[in-house]
Amino acid sequence: MKASLLLIALVGSIANAADIDGRIDLRTHLGEETDFQHLRIQPNLEFTLGDQARLFAELRYDVDVSDSLNPGRPSQRHRNRYSRQWQIDDRQTLELRELYLHWQPDWGSLRIGKQQIVWGEADGVKLLDLINPQSFSEFALPAFEESRIPLWSVDTEVWTPGGGSLQFIWQPDTTYNEFALGAAKYGFDIGNQLAQARPNKRHDLAARYKTPVGRSEIGLYWARRSLDTPALDVRSGVASIDRETLVGLSANRPIGGTVLRFEMLYSDGRPWLDSSSLESFSASMLKALVGLDWFASDQWFLSAQFTETKVRSSRSRVRDPLERAVTAALVWNSAYQRLSVEALVVYEPDHGGGFARVTATYVMNEEIEIYAQGSTFAADNTGVFRDIEGAGGLSLGVRYSF
Partner 1 sequence: MRWILWPLLTLLSLLCIEQRAGAAEPDSVDAVLTAINGRPDGDHLYRTVEIKLVDRKGRSIVRAAEIWRSKDPSATRSLLVYSAPSNIRGTAFLTHDFVDAIDDQWLYLPAARKVRRISPSARGDQFMGTDFSYNDIKNENTIDDTDYRIELVAQESSTHLVVLDGEPRTQELASELGYGRVRWQVDRATWLPKRIEFWDTSGNPLKRIENEDVRLLGGYLLAHRVIAHNLKTGHTTYLETTSASYDVEISPRKLSPNALRSIR
- Residue 213 contacts partner 1 per CB under 8 A: no
- Residue 262 contacts partner 1 per CB under 8 A: no
- Residue 217 contacts partner 1 per CB under 8 A: yes
Which is closer to partner 1, CB of 237 or CB of 254? 254
Task: Work out the burial of residue 231: count CB atoms within 10 Å of its CB; fewer than 13 is exposed, 13-18 middle, 19 or more buried.
Answer: buried
8 Å CB contact between 247 and 222: yes
- Residue 104 contacts partner 1 per CB under 8 A: yes
Of the listed pieces 21-29, 191-199, 321-329, 388-396, which binds partner 1 according to CB under 8 A?
A: 21-29
DSSP reduced 3-state for 333: strand
Which is closer to partner 1, CB of 122 or CB of 197? 122
Q: Which of 95, 178, 263, 293 binds partner 1 (CB under 8 A)?
A: 293
Q: How far is the CB of 110 from partner 1 (least distance, A)?
A: 10
Round to whole Å and give the CA distance between 328 and 346: 7
- Residue 102 contacts partner 1 per CB under 8 A: yes
Of the listed pieces 67-75, 115-123, 168-176, 226-234, which binds partner 1 according to CB under 8 A?
A: 115-123
- Comparing C-alpha atoms, which of 369, 351, 349 is closest to residue 359? 369
Q: Which of 14, 257, 310, 320 binds partner 1 (CB under 8 A)?
A: 257
- Residue 51 contacts partner 1 per CB under 8 A: no
Q: Which of 168, 170, 295, 306 binds partner 1 (CB under 8 A)?
A: 295
8 Å CB contact between 111 and 119: no
Q: Bridge partners of 318?
A: 274
Q: Which of 62, 157, 244, 263 binds partner 1 (CB under 8 A)?
A: 157
Round to whole Å and give the CA distance between 218 and 253: 9
DSSP at 336:
G
Give the CA dihedral 153, 248, 135, 278, nearest 10 degrees.
-120
- Residue 79 contacts partner 1 per CB under 8 A: no
- Residue 156 contacts partner 1 per CB under 8 A: no
The Cα-based distances of 117 to 23, 100, 261, 316, 365 in angstroms read: 22, 12, 19, 38, 31
Which is closer to partner 1, CB of 267 or CB of 361? 361
Q: Which of 252, 284, 313, 376 binds partner 1 (CB under 8 A)?
A: 252
Q: Which of 12, 72, 163, 237 binds partner 1 (CB under 8 A)?
A: 163
Task: Work out the burial of residue 1: count CB atoms within 10 Å of its CB; fewer than 13 is exposed, 13-18 middle, 19 or more buried.
Answer: exposed
The Cα-based distances of 198 to 81, 164, 281, 300 in angstroms read: 11, 38, 18, 45
Q: Which of residues 352-391 bind partner 1 (CB under 8 A)?
A: 363, 365-367, 369
Q: Which of 258, 282, 284, 376 binds partner 1 (CB under 8 A)?
A: 258
Q: How far is the CB of 256 from partner 1 (least distance, A)?
A: 7
Q: Where are the alpha helices (DSSP H) in 148-233?
A: 191-194
Number of residues interacting with partner 1: please give it, by CB under 8 A: 48
Round to whole Å and give the CA distance between 356 and 341: 13
Q: How far is the CB of 178 from partner 1 (least distance, A)?
A: 19
Residue-wise DSSP of 43-112: EEEEEEETTTEEEEEEEEEEEETTS-SS-S----TTS-GGG--EE-SSSEEEEEEEEEEEE--TTEEEEE
Positions touching partner 1 (CB under 8 A) are: 21-23, 46, 56, 102, 104, 106, 109, 116-118, 143-145, 157, 159, 163-165, 210, 215, 217, 252, 254-259, 261, 293, 295, 297-298, 333, 335-338, 363, 365-367, 369, 399, 401-402
